[in-house]
Amino acid sequence: MRTGKPLIAVVDDDQSVRESLPDLLRELGFRARAFESAEAFLASGVIEDARCLILDVAMPGMSGPELLRQLNAAGQTIRTIFVTAGTDDALRPEVLAEGAVECLFKPFSEEELIAALNAALPEK
């Protein structure tokens, strides 16, 4: 069920991210739902409604890139912004090649997030 505000799904095993990022997204005019794992997101029933996915790269269980590959294989196209605490410079081109819109390195600024969201949802 889509409403006027786009739904952004946040998938991150870091509790502080799951608490703070949805609040910021709501302040920016989005609806937001947070999930502690890729598996929790897949079981949530919001895949069809999510317009954008803010996805941690490294999580216990299924990784962010594995989730993106699974969604793509199932024909579920969700604009994806990866976030990571890692410092591997090779990671960004890898996830962009897999279809991500952006890859932000934690801690990222509000301006970096807004730019990534504008790239992911130009029609918002």
Give the integer Cα–Cα distance in Å for 68 and 55: 9
61-100 confidence digits (pLDDT tens)? 999 999 999 999 999 989 999 999 887 888 889 999 989 9
Mean pLDDT (the chain, rounded): 92
Predicted confidence band of residue 1 (pLDDT cuts 50, 70, 90) = very low
**11 strand-pairing partners:** 35, 55
Give the integer Cα–Cα distance in Å for 9 and 104: 16
Asked if pLDDT for residue 110 goes beyond 90, the answer is yes
* Residue ranges covered by each domain of the chain: 7-120
pLDDT of residue 2: 46
Residue with tokens 């946040």: 10
CATH architecture of the domain formed by 7-120: 3-Layer(aba) Sandwich (3.40)
pTM of the model: 0.93
